[in-house]
Amino acid sequence: MNCKSSKLYFRKLPQIRMVFIIMFKISLSSLYAQSGQILNVHDPCVIKCGEYYYIYCTGNRIDMRRSKDLYKWDFIGSVFKSIPAWGVQEVPGVSNIWAPDIFYNNGTYYLYYSLSTFGSNRSRIGLATNTTLDPNDPGYNWIDQGEVIESNPNSNNYNAIDPNVVMDTDGRIWLSFGSFWSGIKLTELDKTTFKLKEGTRIYSIAGRNGGAIEAPFIVYKNGYYYLFVSFDLCCRGINSTYKIMVGRAQRIIGPYFDKNSKSMSSGGGSLLLAGDTRWRGTGHCAVLMLENADWLVYHAYDANNNGTPTLRIKRLFWEKNGWPAVDDNAFVLVEESMSLPDKYSLSQNYPNPFNGQTTIRYTLAGQSFVCFEIYDIRGVLVARLVQKNQDPGIYEKQFNVAELTSGIYFYKLKAGQFEQVKKMVVIR
């Protein structure tokens, strides 16, 4: 079990005061996953700007919140002072701004938003731009750019709300949108105006024959475009039945299929997350993709708090077959750490059991020569993940099972005089 040279590497997390901790206690599932101003958050979208994460959500003028750690959130005001005048004229009776989405490109933040009324597809998607998201920045100023796309009764078979903007692997910009009616649509945007590209086609990428489907969100991962949507009903408090579904495609325009190869254009979609006894109507998600972790951001109605829509964030991981999954027992919590770790430790991998990728975390109290290895149940070395000197700090390592068979495996950390072994389970 002596370490030998290795070309594999390990990425050290920055030594910062607020340290992410992933807790694994089933009893925590009844607690809030976040803290601070997390109530009355509906249809959240999320982005990172500087040292902050920002969330924008449905509200009278688009509510804004921010956090340094994805855990504690502060309310920082509204995007607009009033509903844009053009929207009030175009959508009679509009009293709220719904379902924003935020996109960054080349020094500009693009905020897309929805104007509509319940039960009608007389709807508009608008756009506002800014060069910063920090309200304290002297350059902070949201400029409304007006309408992007519209839908009207008797003219369109779709509903122009719930925008989501994504760049494909060729650098083209796309807008997905839609709610009920004929389902989820996709169309290309002009890379200069970030409004509809002249002569662009509108593609149908998901639908339920007029049934409840909305809130698209597209990300690219593992060679596929993944389309997240919400099935069933929101906005009914504890009676909400929202759930998050997903499918994938090799091209952004589709076709999108679920795990059972059913087309999302014909009602297909694989369940990612549904409500439970306390958290009802989980839906309208966004996906935050960071360098060393992906996060599912969504709202749910709290049955223990009169059905109040509440911000929720969970770790999103990717199984060996490429499909996303949520670890129901992993929550973002925060531990105040005003200095470097004062002890050595090795944490339980998560998720566990797993069948694709798992994450292992450890801390070093001093500079040490670190040897980090994985063995099968017979004691045969399977992988050597680290073999080098490392500074004191907090470290994470992602491990893919590759060709491992189902069974029990052990991972061993040796750092100076510290040595510890833990067990993990692979399910294939």
The domain that holds 97 is classified in CATH as 2.115.10.20
Domain range for residue 411?
340-426
Residue 197 in domain = yes
Strand partners, 101: 112
Residue 7 in domain = no
* Nearest-angstrom CA–CA distance, 150 and 264: 24
**Active site annotation includes 51:** no
- Cβ–Cβ under 8 Å, residues 303 and 238: yes
Q: Identify the active-site residue in 214, 232, 327, 373.
A: 214
Is there a single domain that holds both residue 193 and residue 99? yes
Residues with Cβ within 8 Å of residue 137, at least 6 apart in sequence:
none
Is there a single domain that holds both residue 261 and residue 353? no
Residue 365 in domain = yes
At residue 222, what is the residue type? N
Strand partners, 19: 335
Structural domains counted in the chain: 2
Return the structure tokens found at 386: 């680290």
Return the structure tokens found at 57: 């959500």
- Cβ–Cβ under 8 Å, residues 178 and 162: yes
Segments of the chain with pLDDT less than 50: 1-32, 333-339
Can you tell me whether residue 265 is helix, strand or coil? helix
How is the chain split among helix, strand and coil, in percent rounded to 5? 5, 50, 45
Q: Which of 311, 335, 359 is the last residue of a domain?
A: 335
Is there a single domain that holds both residue 331 and residue 360? no
Residue 59 in domain = yes
Is there a single domain that holds both residue 303 and residue 345? no
Is there a single domain that holds both residue 232 and residue 201? yes
Q: Which of 308, 335, 362 is the last residue of a domain?
A: 335
Is there a single domain that holds both residue 173 and residue 198? yes
Is there a single domain that holds both residue 124 and residue 211? yes
- Cβ–Cβ under 8 Å, residues 349 and 28: no
Q: What count of other Cβ atoms lies within 10 Å of the Cβ of residue 92?
A: 9
**CA torsion 87→92→96→101, rounded to 10°?**
-40
Strand partners, 230: 214, 244
**Active site annotation includes 43:** yes
Is there a single domain that holds both residue 117 and residue 243? yes
Considering only CA atoms, which of 427, 426, 410, 364 is closest in space to residue 391? 364
Residue 12 in domain = no
Can you tell me whether residue 141 is helix, strand or coil? coil
Residue 11 in domain = no
Is there a single domain that holds both residue 293 and residue 355? no
Q: What is the CATH number of the domain that holds 406?
A: 2.60.40.2550
Residue 82 in domain = yes
* Nearest-angstrom CA–CA distance, 41 and 58: 7
Q: Which of 319, 335, 351 is the last residue of a domain?
A: 335
pLDDT given for residue 8 in this prediction:
30
Handedness of CA 56, 62, 65, 66 (dihedral sign): positive
φ and ψ at residue 370, rounded to 5 degrees: -105, 130
* Nearest-angstrom CA–CA distance, 413 and 346: 7
pLDDT given for residue 226 in this prediction:
98
Count of all residues that appear for the chain in the document? 428
Residue 230 in domain = yes
Q: Identify the active-site residue in 43, 63, 101, 302.
A: 43
The two most distant CA atoms of the chain are separated, in Å, by: 75
* Nearest-angstrom CA–CA distance, 293 and 371: 24
Name the burial class of residue 409, with classes exposed (0-12), middle (13-18) and buried (19+) by CB atoms within 10 angstroms of its CB: buried
pLDDT given for residue 236 in this prediction:
95
Q: What is the per-residue DSSP string for 336-375?
A: E-SSS-SS-EEPPPBSSSBSSEEEEEEEESS-EEEEEEEE
Is there a single domain that holds both residue 253 and residue 396? no
Q: Could you identify the residue written with the tokens 């708090």? A: 305
Return the structure tokens found at 423: 């067990």
Strand partners, 63: 57, 78
Residue pLDDT, tens place only, 295-348 = 999 999 999 999 999 999 998 988 888 999 986 655 554 433 334 678 899 988
pLDDT given for residue 33 in this prediction:
65
Is there a single domain that holds both residue 314 and residue 394? no
Is there a single domain that holds both residue 310 and residue 382? no
